[in-house]
Each structure stands twice: as structure tokens, then as C-alpha cells.
Structure 1
């Protein structure tokens, strides 16, 4: 597995890996992470990966998913 790029931002850290015919987008925020696997056959290269990462709708959905993950964990902790 090799690191293709890193995109630090105010909201989270994004690391792009190339591995086994796929791009892996690893997005981290605090103790949570999301990973997306994209086949190298589905895109033409690193520039298209960057376009995905910069897509404002995708970024907002990532933020919402992190909020939901945090809420789910807090709810579970409150039930025990």
C-alpha cells in the first residue's frame, strides 16, 4: 500500500492510498474514520480522486456521517 496524497483540512484529514487495484480514501476526524474504496477502473487517475475529495456535496455528507457516528456512539454509551 502506498500513500498517493494527503489532504489536511480544518474539518478532517484525508489520506489517499493506492492498493490492490483500488484507491482508498481514508477520512479521519478525532476517534472516527471513514474509508471509501474506488476501483482504479472506475476513474482515470489521481486528478479524478482529487475532484471527488473537493466535491462540496461529498464533503458535506462526510461531515454529516461523522456527526451521526458520534451521536450513535454517545447514544450507545448512555444505554450501558
Structure 2
């Protein structure tokens, strides 16, 4: 069986999803939580800001 852990972050209408094969993690579910360190979460937050900026720019072009 090809089991995966899915990590999903949502902020408003934006979403980031990460899929990890269970076989790649030594500690199973605990291994998922080990990956979610402060540096990673900071990157996710920053990416949401970039995604929002990109979408806002596109939306404004559409409205014009």
C-alpha cells in the first residue's frame, strides 16, 4: 500500500498542501510533526504572503 501523510495549511482562500510518503518517515506520524519546525512554518507563512500578493495583482489586472 502506498500510504501518505498529507499536511495542509489554509489561510483565507489560499491553501498549501504537502504530501509525504509514509515510507520516507522513520517515526511515522511523529516524523511528520518533527518536520513542522519553526523555520518551516515561517516559510509557509511567507509563501502565503507571496501567494496573496500574486493573486491580488492578478485580480487587479482582471478588474481593469
Instruction: Give the TM-score of the pair, scaled to structure 1.
Output: 0.70
**Larger RCO: Structure 1 or Structure 2 (Cα < 8 Å, ≥ 6 residues apart)?**
2
Instruction: Give the TM-score of the pair, scaled to structure 2.
Output: 0.86
Q: Size of the alignment, in residue pairs?
A: 60
Unaligned runs of 5+ in 2: none
Which structure shows the bigger proportion of residues in strand conformation?
1
Rg larger in structure: 2
Computed over aligned residues only, the root mean square deviation of the Cα atoms, in angstroms, reads: 1.0
Which structure shows the bigger proportion of residues in helix conformation?
2
Unaligned runs of 5+ in 1: 1-19
